[in-house]
Amino acid sequence: MTLLVRINRIKVWCATCLALTLFAISCSLLLSTPSLASNQSSREKVSLHLRWHHQFQFAGYYAAIEKGYYAAEGLDVELLEIQRGTGMINPVIDGTADYGVADSSLLVERAYGAPVVLLAQIFQHSPHIFLSLREKSIYTPHDIRGKKAMFDSKAASLNLLFF
C-alpha cells in the first residue's frame, strides 16, 4: 500500500470520526432540549388586544405565532379582537389584556392621565390624507385655514393636528 493511499484512508477515518462525534453531540442536544410543545406550560402567557377584528392587517402577529417566534422567546401569545364598546386602550388599562395595538389616541389618553406607555411605533408617518377638489386651490395644510373641513371627531390624530 502506498503512502498516498494510507494518508487518504487516515483522512477518511478522521472525517468519519468527526462526523459521528458531531452527530452524537447533536442528538444529545436535541434530546436534552425540551420541545416547544412540551415546554408550553412554562411559557409566560400574554394577551395582545387588537385594534379591530381578526384580519390581514395583523398578519405579522399570526405569522409570529405560527412560526414559533413568540414561543422561542418564552411567550404564549393570545390575540384578542376588539369587542363592541371596549375601545382600543381600555382592555389594557382594566387588565383584560397585557398589551394592545392602538393609534395616536394613545397620546390623547396618556395626556389625560391614562397609565399607558407606547412600546413601539409601527407607522413612520400617519396614514391619514386630506383630499380636496382642484378648484378649491388647497395644496398645503396651510391652505385649509379659514376653509371648512370635515373629519371624524373621534379620530385622535386629526384632533391632535387641529386642536
pLDDT in tens, 6-44: 555 555 544 454 444 444 454 444 444 445 444 566 899
Q: What is the pLDDT of residues 124-149, one digit of tens each?
A: 666 667 788 889 888 888 888 888 87
In a domain, 69, yes or no: yes
| Claim to verify: residue 68 and residue 103 sit in the same structural domain | yes
In a domain, 13, yes or no: yes
| Claim to verify: residue 6 and residue 52 sit in the same structural domain | no
Average pLDDT of the chain to the nearest whole number? 75
| Claim to verify: residue 139 and residue 102 sit in the same structural domain | no
Distance CA 50, CA 127 (A): 18
**Contact present, 51 and 87 (Cβ < 8 Å):** no
| Claim to verify: residue 54 and residue 107 sit in the same structural domain | yes
Higher pLDDT pick, 126 / 116: 116
Q: Count Cα neighbours of 41 within 13 Å in the Cβ-side half-sphere.
A: 1
| Claim to verify: residue 45 and residue 106 sit in the same structural domain | yes
Nearest to 80 by CA among 67, 71, 92: 92
Range of the domain at 149: 128-163
Tally of structural domains, the chain: 3
